[in-house]
A = this chain, B = another copy of it.
Amino acid sequence: MESQKEETIQIYRGWTEFSKKEVSEKLDFFSNKERLFDIIFAQQFDRAFLNFMCHLANQIRLLSKTKSGANKLSQLLSHKRAMLYFVQPSTRTFISFLNACHILGMKISEIRGTTTSSEVKGESPEDTIRTFSSYVDLIIVRHPVAGFAEKTAWVLNQTERPVSIINGGSGPDQHPTQALLDIYTLERSFERIGGLDGKKIAMVGDLKRGRTVRSLSYLMKNYKDVTLYFVSPKVFKMKDDIKGFLKKHHIEFLETEDFDSVKPLVDAIYMTRIQKEYSETPSKEADIYPEFHFTKKDLARIQSHCIIMHPLPRRYEIEVDVDNDPRAVYWRQERNGMWIRAALIAYLFCVDSVIAREFC
């Protein structure tokens, strides 16, 4: 069976060669006349683009506060159809994208789960995607295989009727819209104190395997004078590739295991889930690395403007009692994901100018 399945993967000429290129060499292929056409890598975002997305997300958020504004938004793409193709389950990201599409009035086809009937019949993943592209104007893909979204966009861009692809998380590394919502949350939270430039950010927990903190670190090259504090147990230290990148771009960072001493210093604390690496000695989860948790009493030790972020879901890293403090922005961070994704989709369909007109 397994070997048969392997056999079905058909070869599209040129992919192997393309896939080996550096990301920087690939970017043009996913753009169209100076505008991003597919959203595949966080590396596609420069400072101007990030600023523009935050601005557009703000506009969408404001418009949706009134019925007339919300109705205007929902007519913007009422003639467009999107597919959410989530081979890898992820309720949170799925619902966020779905409602981003709903805000803009798109009609949605959903594929959730690990197998579709076509795959059962032995169709290649490329043919499946090309089939979907027959029916819709945008495909948002989440897939466990690294590079799947990229390959998909590559195949479609060679057809006579390409549709945009958004990478909703593909393999262990790339999840560009998560990075986007983190940036938006930081910029929005620091709106009255000069934005993200010059800020000190602590990243806490499993930095070795955490996709979000890695992506966010990369994007720091777009901001001035940011200092990162990597706070983790020794076994979960940030990997050398990121540290090399930061050095190359002259971004200051410090590594420490002492969370307590960092708390009063920073403008933002980005908490992440932390789990035991090896579980030979079973222990209660709540007791694992408690020194890297954030509790109610820590609220007194951080600055009055310091925000607490978390990509969610959380387990024990943040005490529930922290939730009602105004500096706990992780629930707002989720909602920001919806706004920034709506902004991204509006941009891809070139209706950002229609939105801007509402603010003239």
Contact of A312 among B7, B102, B131, B320 (CB under 8 A): B131
A105 CB to nearest chain B CB (Å): 8
Task: List residues of chain B with CB within 8 A of the CB of A111.
Answer: 91, 95
Of A127, A128, A324, A335, the most chain B CB neighbours within 10 A belong to A127
- Chain B nearest CB from A322 CB (Å) reads 11
Set of chain B residues within 8 Å of A132, measured between Cβ atoms: 95
When chains A and B are docked, how far (Å) is the Cα of A262 from the Cα of B10?
A: 27
Evaluate whether A117 and B135 lie within 8 angstroms (CB atoms) in the complex, with A286-B7, A313-B127, A321-B13 already known. Answer: no
A121 lies within 8 A of chain B by Cβ = yes
Interface residues on A, range: 35 or more
8 A-B pairs with the lowest CB-CB distances in the bound complex, closest first: A70-B79, A123-B313, A102-B107, A89-B117, A91-B116, A99-B135, A134-B335, A134-B334
Interface string of A100-126 (1 = CB under 8 A from B): 001100010101000011101111000
Establish whether residues B74 and A118, one from each chain, have CB atoms under 8 Å apart when the complex forms. no
Residues of A318-343 at the interface with B, using a CB-CB cut-off of 8 Å, are 320-321, 323-324, 331, 334-335, 338
**A278–B103 alpha-carbon span in the complex (Å):** 52
Q: Does A98 contact B (CB under 8 A)?
A: yes
5 intermolecular pairs with C-beta atoms under 8 Å apart: A7-B285, A74-B107, A98-B109, A123-B314, A158-B324
Is A136 part of the binding interface, using a Cβ–Cβ cutoff of 8 Å?
yes
Q: Is A81 in contact with chain B by the CB < 8 A criterion?
A: yes
Contact B136 A118 (CB under 8 A): no
Kindly report which residue of chain B lies nearest to residue A333, judged by CB atoms: B134
Q: Shortest beta-carbon distance, A77 to chain B, in Å?
A: 9
Contact B338 A134 (CB under 8 A): yes
Contacts A74-B79, A99-B81, A111-B91; is A122 near B320 (CB within 8 Å)? no
CA distance A204 to B312 in the complex (A): 49
State whether the Cβ of A315 lies closer than 8 Å to any Cβ in chain B: yes
Which residues of A (52-77) have their CB < 8 Å from a CB of B?
64, 67, 70-71, 74-75
Within the complex, what minimum Cβ distance (angstroms) separates A166 from chain B? 17
User: Which residues from chain B contact A121 at a C-beta distance below 8 Å?
Assistant: 313, 315
Report whether A135 and B338 are in contact in the complex, using a CB–CB cutoff of 8 Å: yes
How distant is the Cα of A292 from the Cα of B253 in the complex, in angstroms?
Answer: 63
- Starting from the known contacts A10-B320, A81-B99, 6 additional A-B residue pairs (CB-CB under 8 Å) come to A7-B284, A92-B117, A95-B135, A98-B135, A130-B331, A134-B338
A71 adjacent to B78 (CB under 8 Å)? yes
What 0/1 pattern do residues 1 to 13 of A give for CB contact below 8 A with B? Answer: 0001001101111
Closest B residue to A312 by CB, please name it.
B131
